[in-house]
């Protein structure tokens, strides 16, 4: 006996009608009876393909603006009857109900509707009820029914029907896909509902409940190290870095993705000014703004040319030919950009292994960050460098003369660039470019020493930004002794008075932001 179960009767109810007519035509040619709903049935009928409206099966009209179409025992009995069981077959005959062998369904575009800025009532209308009910029923009864939720499978579906039906292994895989489909849908609805109708007073910064689903986009060769398995997963939108188009180069690695994400964020912390960030091990070894992207890249690379070797480069604007020619002279692992000018790709593609990524569209500035911990997950709002204290107009000058416009511009750049550096972080800057970065140190004195060492002679006259307050004057004194021209830091230490006094003694202006930018 063949393992395949023939498809004699199919129920089709889809919002996304891509490929629908080819599917319906193919099913009809294979002798499959088609039952369908609403606009799906109308589209099939208009194409001249025989179709039975679901109302003829149920004996009940579509009602309430389409809210009730398939929620009927004659539909769900046909999907849920396990035809392997004699008693189910007998009951179907007694009830005069014909079973379905195939369900093709996809759901109302709830997530897309919410993303479009639709009103609450419009979003609620896009919460599908009948579709998920049919999909779940068919997936539960996968031993008897095949369920298809992706239009991309239609050609394969017709091949299976022509071959005599679906084998049980295929039906089981389709069922798993179907449950993932409805789970992701329900998570998006539940998350939105939680945000809209919180049990609290509406002032909570985080929802009472949230869920998320990701789909594996591709397996990676390994994780941070060769003995660790890894893969890239994407949310339903597959936007941002997870949805980037790779235009050239070797396969992306786990570490490439980590560094590319850090670089992409760092390059977009400075508004519309042409900005380039060079990242190694998730830390900037170079970051700068310029009159154009080529100048920004030259300045960013000059921050620390030794560390930039094998780095990841991100830019917030189109890669020009001039920038491409500069990058091509340096061993670079990855370039991430929103676009590439005519001729720029050709220049970069001369380097066989460099990975070239394009991330089109607007940069998502909001959202949350998740960090798994043992037994749970930490959730926080993304640090966007948009707090009140991030605006130089809100800074408090606590000692020294007001900085010149040029010096203040460098302080503003250094403050924003410091956000991308792992704590404890000290960043020295001059002329819109980092000249020395002290990152990831467990005390601020060592971070200051490292930044000064990296800057070399460039430290004299540079400005300094610290991601958090100086707990003692000692770290600041390292910088003052090296010849920095101005300081910006959050303040808030119990020894602020001593720290400010050290700056006053050196005759160096200090600004307090009142805002901290730890990064762990």
Q: What is the mean pLDDT of residues 48-56?
A: 94
Identical fold, 9-195 and 388-512: no
Report how far residue 52's alpha carbon sits from residue 27's, in angstroms, rounded to the nearest whole number: 13
What is the number of H-type helices and E-type strands within the chain?
19, 21
Catalytic residue among 72, 88, 250, 281: 281
Q: pLDDT at residue 1 above 80?
A: no
Q: What is the mean pLDDT of residues 309-318?
A: 97
**Could you tell me if 248 and 324 are in contact, meaning their C-beta atoms sit under 8 angstroms apart?**
no
Domain 9-195 adopts which CATH fold? Rossmann fold (3.40.50)
Q: pLDDT at residue 456 above 90?
A: yes
Rg of the chain over all Cα atoms, to the nearest angstrom: 30
Report how far residue 58's alpha carbon sits from residue 53's, in angstroms, rounded to the nearest whole number: 9
CATH number of 388-512: 3.40.140.20
Report how far residue 400's alpha carbon sits from residue 509's, in angstroms, rounded to the nearest whole number: 4
User: The domain 245-358 is classified under which CATH number: 3.40.50.300, 3.40.1410.10, 3.40.140.20, 1.10.3720.10?
Assistant: 3.40.140.20
Question: Is the previous residue joined to 239 through a cis bond, with omega within 30 degrees of 0?
Answer: no
pLDDT in tens, 352-376: 999 999 998 767 777 788 999 999 9
pLDDT of residue 339: 96
Q: What is the mean pLDDT of residues 419-423?
A: 95
pLDDT in tens, 247-286: 999 999 999 999 999 999 999 999 999 999 999 999 999 9
pLDDT in tens, 465-520: 999 999 999 999 999 999 999 999 999 999 999 999 999 999 999 999 999 999 99
CA angle 35, 25, 168 (to 5 degrees): 70
Q: What is the mean pLDDT of residues 327-338?
A: 97
Q: pLDDT at residue 129 above 80?
A: yes
Q: Among 198-202, 399-403, 421-425, 430-434, which stretch is predicted with the lowest mean pLDDT?
A: 198-202
- Give the confidence band of 113 by pLDDT, cuts at 50, 70, 90: confident
pTM across the whole model: 0.85
Q: What is the mean pLDDT of residues 137-141?
A: 96
pLDDT of residue 238: 64
CA dihedral 104, 110, 112, 117 (to 10 degrees): 160
**Could you tell me if 407 and 463 are in contact, meaning their C-beta atoms sit under 8 angstroms apart?**
yes
The question of whether 227 is a catalytic residue gets the answer: no
- Give the confidence band of 295 by pLDDT, cuts at 50, 70, 90: very high
Catalytic residue among 140, 268, 396, 449: 140
pLDDT in tens, 57-67: 988 888 888 78
Q: Among 168-182, 193-207, 336-350, 417-431, which stretch is predicted with the lowest mean pLDDT?
A: 193-207
pLDDT of residue 209: 80
Q: Among 231-240, 315-324, 325-334, 343-352, which stretch is predicted with the lowest mean pLDDT?
A: 231-240
Closest by CA to 454, choosing from 486, 490, 478, is 478
Per-domain boundaries in the chain: 9-195, 245-358, 388-512
Q: pLDDT at residue 425 above 90?
A: yes
The question of whether 140 is a catalytic residue gets the answer: yes
Helix residue ranges, H only, 207-289 = 254-267
27 by DSSP, 3-state: which?
helix
Q: What is the mean pLDDT of residues 168-176?
A: 96
Instruction: Compare 329 and 240 and report the one with higher pLDDT.
Output: 329
């Amino acid at each position: 006996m063949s393992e395949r179960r023939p498809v004699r009767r199919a129920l089709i109810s889809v919002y996304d009608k891509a490929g629908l007519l080819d599917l319906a035509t193919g099913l009809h040619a294979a002798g499959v009876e088609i039952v369908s709903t609403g606009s799906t049935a109308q589209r099939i009928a208009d194409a001249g393909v025989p179709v039975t409206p679901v109302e003829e099966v149920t004996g009940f009209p579509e009602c309430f603006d389409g809210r009730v179409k398939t929620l009927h025992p004659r539909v769900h009995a046909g999907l849920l009857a396990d035809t392997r069981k004699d008693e189910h077959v007998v009951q179907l005959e007694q009830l005069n109900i014909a079973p379905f062998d195939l369900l093709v369904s996809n759901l109302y575009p709830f997530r897309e509707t919410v993303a479009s800025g639709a009103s609450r009532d419009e979003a609620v209308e896009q919460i599908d009820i009948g579709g998920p009910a049919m999909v779940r029923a068919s997936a539960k009864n996968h031993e008897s029914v095949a369920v298809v939720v992706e239009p991309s499978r239609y050609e394969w579906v017709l091949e299976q029907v022509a071959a005599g039906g679906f084998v049980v292994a295929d039906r089981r895989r389709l069922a798993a896909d179907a449950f993932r489909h409805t789970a992701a849908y329900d998570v998006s609805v539940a998350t939105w509902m939680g945000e809209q109708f919180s049990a609290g007073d509406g002032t909570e910064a985080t929802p009472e409940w949230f869920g998320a689903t990701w789909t594996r986009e591709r397996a990676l060769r390994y994780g941070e190290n060769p003995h660790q398995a890894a893969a890239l997963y994407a949310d339903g939108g597959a936007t941002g870095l997870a949805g980037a188009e790779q235009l050239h180069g070797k396969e992306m690695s786990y570490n490439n993705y980590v560094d590319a994400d850090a670089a992409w964020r760092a390059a977009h912390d400075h508004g519309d000014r042409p900005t380039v960030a060079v990242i190694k091990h998730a830390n900037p070894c170079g970051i700068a703004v310029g009159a154009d992207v080529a100048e920004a890249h030259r300045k960013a690379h000059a921050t620390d040319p030794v560390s930039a070797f094998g780095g990841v480069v991100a830019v917030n604007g189109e890669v020009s030919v001039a920038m491409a020619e500069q990058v091509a002279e340096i061993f670079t692992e990855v370039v991430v950009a929103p676009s590439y000018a005519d001729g720029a790709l050709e220049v970069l593609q001369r380097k066989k292994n460099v990975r070239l990524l394009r991330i089109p569209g607007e940069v998502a500035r909001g959202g949350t960050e998740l960090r798994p911990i043992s037994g749970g997950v930490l959730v926080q709002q993304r640090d966007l460098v948009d707090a009140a204290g991030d605006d130089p107009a809100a800074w408090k000058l606590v000692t020294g003369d007001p900085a010149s416009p040029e010096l203040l511009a460098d302080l503003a750049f250094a403050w924003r660039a410091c956000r991308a550096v792992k704590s404890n972080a000290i960043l020295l800057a001059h002329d819109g470019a980092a000249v020395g970065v002290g990152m990831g140190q467990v005390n601020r004195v060592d971070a200051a020493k490292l930044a000064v060492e990296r800057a070399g002679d460039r430290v004299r006259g540079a400005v300094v930004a610290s991601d958090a307050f100086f707990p003692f004057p000692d770290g600041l004194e390292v910088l003052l002794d090296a010849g920095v021209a101005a300081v910006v830091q959050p303040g808030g230490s119990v020894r602020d008075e001593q720290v400010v006094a050290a700056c006053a003694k050196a005759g160096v202006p200090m600004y307090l932001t009142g805002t901290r930018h730890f990064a762990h």
